Amino acid sequence: MKVLVTGARGQLGQDVVTIFQKAGHDVIACDRKELDITDLERSRKVVSTHGPKIIIHCAAYTAVDAAETDVDGAYLVNAVGSRNIALAAEDAQAKLVYISTDYVFDGKGEQSYHEYDNTDPQSIYGKSKRAGEILVQNLCSKWFIVRTSWAFGLYGNNFVKTMLRLGREKPLLQVVHDQTGSPTYTVHLARFLLDLAATEKYGVYHASNSGACTWYEFTEAIMEEARELLGWPITATLEPCTTDQFPRPAPRPANSVMEHLSIRTNGFEDLPHWREGLRQFLLAMRHDPDLYLQ
């Protein structure tokens, strides 16, 4: 089946391309150079030329803090760009998978958020991604909205790579211990997208690795696994701290744990535990860590 991937050179996009190709699909990998999603006519032309049956929309403005001052830029990509892809998908009668985020919730609840809880994004990034969700739902007839969280993979920058580097360079690391979420290995997410896109079980899905932890607990696990699996000299001492000690331009959700209600009720296999995702990530980069830690 022909599959078009936007943001194909991003952290998730590269794994999506690889996973779908290995499954035998004809993948059209589009990054900004091949497909400027902010250009409606260009989006329609590229999609109509290739005629995909599935579009995996990974392209996004993800600079959470920068979005607080670059409001137009965030909405241009996450809202207008997603509208353009939704219209192009509808023209082609293609299924559309829109990748969204835990930031569409306010993060103030004590329970895990399920797919049908009311959204209330607090940051410009979260608001722009929620705008993209609404546009996809209203303009496209075959849609999947997949919210994920705390993504990490081999390609691009992410929290795991940063901690691996700092753990070897710094004597002391202070890491936030009052924000809880579910780390997600992009390979596991891409495999779920492969299973999901093959169906007509349209709707909103929460797809993160199972289990939850704080950023501090995640960092502890990163260092433990790096020592055990890779034999790396991780020497930094960890110290928990609060969000207030490290103020950022964009508010972070204190609780971004998401319930996987739709995965269960639609008969899909849940994603593995986040610790298993971390181990698989470290093993994947074991043979050439310098390539992935640049």
Catalytic residue among 125, 185, 205, 216: 125
What is the residue-wise DSSP string for 179-214?
-EE--EEHHHHHHHHHHHHTS---EEEE---BS-EE
Predicted pLDDT at 106: 97
Q: Determine the Cα–Cα distance for residues 135 and 71; give it in Å rounded to an integer.
A: 18
Enumerate the H helices of the chain as residue ranges: 11-22, 40-50, 71-75, 81-92, 124-139, 159-169, 186-197, 215-225, 261-265, 274-285, 289-292
Task: Return the H-helix or E-strand segment holding 98.
Answer: strand 95-101
Q: Determine the Cα–Cα distance for residues 145 and 131; give it in Å rounded to an integer.
A: 12
CA distances from 50 to 43, 73, 84, 87, 215 (A): 11, 28, 16, 15, 42
Q: Which residue's structure tokens are 């797919």?
A: 115
**Class of domain 2-158+184-209+257-272 (CATH, top level):** alpha beta
In tens, the pLDDT along 71-102 reads 999 999 999 999 999 999 999 999 999 999 99
Q: Is 125 a catalytic residue?
A: yes
Residue pair 58/10 in contact by the 8 Å Cβ criterion: yes
In tens, the pLDDT along 3-29 reads 999 999 999 999 999 999 999 999 999
Residue from 141, 50, 54, 37 nearest 94 by CA: 54
Residue from 162, 285, 291 nearest 223 by CA: 162
Q: For residue 87, what are its two tokens? A: 């219209």
Predicted pLDDT at 232: 86
Q: Where are the domains of the chain?
A: 2-158+184-209+257-272
- Low-confidence spans in the chain with pLDDT less than 50: none
Q: Determine the Cα–Cα distance for residues 167 and 142; give it in Å rounded to an integer.
A: 45
In this structure, what is the dihedral angle of CA atoms 15, 17, 22, 23, given to the nearest 10 degrees?
110
Predicted pLDDT at 286: 81
